[in-house]
A and B are shown apart, each in its own frame.
Chain A
Amino acid sequence: MTKRSEFLQASGYLFSLAPAVLLGIASFTSLPYLPFVGLIVVAPFLRSVFGDFDESPPPEWSEGVATFLDFLPIAVGVAYLIACGCCIVHVARLIQVSRLGTMLGLWTSSLFASCVAHELLHRKTLVSRVLGRVVAGAIGYPLLEHEHRAHHASNGTSKLPEWPLQAESVWHFSGRRFRHTLATAWRGDRVAAMRNGHPLAGGLPLAIGTFIVCGFLFFLFGGTTALCIYLIQALATAWGMHAMTYVQHWGLGRYENDSERYSDLAWEDTCRLQCWLTFGIPYHQGHHLKNHRVYYRLAPTEGSPRQPAGYVVLLVACCFPPLWRALMKPALDAWRSSEPPLSAGRGLICIRRG
C-alpha cells in the first residue's frame, strides 16, 4: 500500500470526531438538533457515498500511521469531554431553543461517544482506561465498563442477558439486561478491583463520580430542566447500549446454534462510515474473538452473520418487533444455511429474496 492511499484510508477514522464536533457546534450555534440530524438522519444515507470495505485483511499500517490511529481514541475522548463542557455552559440557551432537540442532540453524541469509551476501556494502559471511565460517566452510563466486562466474560450466554434470544423483543431484553447490570455492578466492580490490586481499579467509582459531577454542572448552568434532560438522555443512552447489544447478538446465543462450535457469534457489517464513526464496532465477531485487538487491525470474520442494514436502521427496526423479524429472520436463515453473506453494500437495507 502506498503512503498516500494508506493516509487516505486512515483519515476516514477522523469521522470519529464528528459526534464531538457536532455537539460543540450545536452548543455554540444554538442548533440543538444538529448531532441528531447529522448522525441519525443523514449519516445512514452516506453509506451510498462511502460504500463498504471489502473482505480483505486490514492494512499492515506503517508505524507512523498506526501510532496516530492508536492515539486517535484518546483525542476523540478528550474532544467529547470538551464538547460536553461546551454543551453544559450553553445548556440554558439550548433549552430555550428546544428541550427535545437538546435531549436528542445530547443523546446522539452520548451514544456515539460510548464507542470511544468502549475502545478505551478495552486497552491496557491506565490513561486509556481512566479516560474511558470518565467518558462513560459523562455520557450518563457509568455502568458501561462493568456491563461490558460481564458481556465478554459470558460469551454466547442467553441465560444471562448477554446474548438475546431469538424469540425475545428488544424491550424485554433491555429490561432484563438493565436489571441484571444494576444488580451486579457493584459486586463486579469489587471483584475487578481486588483482581487489579487497588480499591479504585474496578473503575465504577470514577465513572459514577463523573456522572454526578456532570449532573451537578447541568443543574448549575441550566437548572432543574437541564438536569432532567441530562438524566433522561442518560436513561436513553443506557437503553441504547442494551439495544445495540440486542442488534449485535440477536438469535446468535450458544444454545440456539451449534453450542460446541459457536460462542462468540455476532452480526457484522462492512459499512465504511459506520466503522469509522464507531471505531470498528461493526466487526463485532472479530472483536469478541480477540477483544484486545485494536480497532484499526479488525477485519470482517470469515463466515460471520451479516447485518442486512446499518446500526441506525436496525436500532429503529428493533423497536418494532414485527419489522425487526421481517428484516432479520431472512438474514439469520441465510447465515444458518451457509449462504454467501448478506450485505447492504451501498444500499440502506438488504433483504434476501426467496
Chain B
Amino acid sequence: MNSTLPGPNNRDLESVVCGATFAAEILTTIQAISTADTEAEVLDLLFSVRDSLGVEQAVFASFIRDDDSHESFRVMSAASAQWCLNYRDEDEWFSNDAWLLHASTRSEPAVDSEITYRNKGQVAKRDIAIRNGAKSSLIVPAPSSAGLSRLGILVLGSNQEDFFRGCNFVAYKALCRSLAMELGEWWIKHIRRELLDEYRVTDEELELLRRERLGHPTKQIATDLGITEASVNNRFQRLNAKFDTPNRRATANQAAEYGMI
C-alpha cells in the first residue's frame, strides 16, 4: 500500500480531463473496485484513482445517516495522515461536519466553497483540510436507495485553490459520482459479508429472513422449507439475539436495511 502523498500537482482540471487516458483510467478503476475482495485492494485502487483524478488527497467514508455515535463509520484514506489525526482531535468530529451533513442530505457533488458552514466547529474542520494541503475540495455524496440506510462520501482534495472549476468540470464530476457510487456499493457488499461472518448467519437463515420480510406466516415458512414450526421459531429466536432485536419482523427489517437480504 502506498502511504505517501504525491508531490505538488501543477496540472489544472482542464489538462487532467483532456488527458488521453483520463476517462479510461477512471472507468477501469471503477470496474476493478466492483470485483475487489479486500479493503487493501480497494485502498490501492483509491490511491491510483486519486492520481488519475489529478488530486493529492482522497478519502471515502461509509456511514449510517442517523448514527449519532461513530459506530457505523468506515473510512478509507488516500490522504495526509496528519489531516486524519487533526480531524480526529477536533471537537465532536463527525457529528458536526458540514461535508458529512451535505452527504447526508444532498445527492449532488459540491465544491467546499459552495457548502454552508453553520458554526465554528464546521469551519474549523474545513480549515484543517486546508492546513493539510486540501486548498480546495470536492465533496461527492454516494446516496443509497432501496431502503438501505448506509451512505457514502468521497472527498477529493487539491493543493490548488480553484482546481475544481472550468468547462470540463461537468465531465469530471460525472466520473467522480460514478466512482463514489461504486465505492459506496463496495462497502455495502463488504459490510454485508462482515455481518454474515460476525453473526454467523447461514444461507438457510437468510432464506428465513427473506420469507419473513415477504410476510409469510410461520406455518408456510415451515412447510416451504420442510422443517417444523418449532424449528422455525427457534431459529428466529437465535437470529433475534444476534441482531439485538425483539422479534422476527424487526430482525428481517434490519437485515434488509443492512443489505443482507
Q: Which residues of A contact B (CB under 8 A)?
A: 60-63, 66-67, 69-70, 124, 149-150, 152-155, 157, 159-160, 184, 187-188, 190-192, 194-197, 290-294, 297
Contact = CB atoms under 8 A, between A and B. Distances in A.
Interface in B74-102: 89, 91-96, 101
Interface string B223-252: 000000000010011101100111110000
Interface stretch (B27-35, B53-61, B62-70): B62-70
B101 A195 contact: yes
Q: Identify whether the interface residues of A are mostly helix, strand, loop, or mixed.
A: helix
Contact of A194 (B69, B105, B236): B105
A44 to B, nearest CB: 30
Nearest to B251: A63
Nearest to B91: A160
A61 B183 CA distance: 38
Given A153-B68, A153-B94, A63 B104 contact: no
Contacts of B241: 60-61, 297
A150 B244 contact: no
B38 interface: no
Nearest to A160: B91
Contacts of A67: 246-247
B91 A194 contact: no
A154 B71 CA distance: 12
A150 B92 CA distance: 7
Contacts of B119: 187, 191
A159 B91 CA distance: 8
A297 B95 CA distance: 26
Interface of B: 65-66, 68-71, 89, 91-96, 101, 104-105, 118-119, 121, 233, 236-238, 240-241, 244-248
Contact of A152 (B68, B104, B233, B247): B68
Contacts of B68: 149, 152-153, 192, 291
Nearest to A184: B92
Contacts of A124: 66
A152 B246 contact: no
Contacts of A149: 68, 95
Given A191-B101, A291-B69, A154 B244 contact: no
B66 A160 contact: no
Contact of A66 (B65, B71, B121, B240): B240
A234 to B, nearest CB: 24
Given A63-B233, A152-B68, A160-B92, A197 B105 contact: yes
B193 to A, nearest CB: 20
19 contacts: A61-B246, A63-B247, A149-B68, A150-B92, A152-B68, A152-B69, A152-B70, A153-B69, A187-B121, A188-B92, A188-B96, A192-B68, A194-B104, A195-B65, A195-B105, A196-B65, A290-B71, A291-B68, A294-B246
Contact of A154 (B92, B101, B105): B92
Contacts of A157: 91
Contacts of A192: 68
Contacts of A63: 233, 236-237, 240, 246-248
A188 B92 CA distance: 10
Contacts of A66: 240, 245-247
A184 to B, nearest CB: 8
Identify the interface centre among B71, B105, B118, B238: most chain A CB within 10 Å of its CB.
B71
Nearest to A124: B66
Contacts of B233: 63
Nearest to A298: B244
B200 to A, nearest CB: 14
Contacts of A297: 241, 244
The 7 residue pairs across chains A and B that have the minimum distance between CB atoms: A70-B246, A153-B95, A152-B69, A66-B246, A60-B241, A149-B68, A67-B246
Contact of A60 (B69, B95, B237): B237
A153 B67 CA distance: 10
A127 to B, nearest CB: 14
A60 B238 contact: yes
Most buried by A among B69, B240, B248: B69
Given A187-B118, A191-B118, A195-B101, A61 B95 contact: no
B95 A62 contact: no
Nearest to A288: B69
A159 B244 CA distance: 33
Nearest to A290: B71
A220 to B, nearest CB: 36
A330 B92 CA distance: 32
Nearest to A186: B119
A299 to B, nearest CB: 11
A62 B104 contact: no
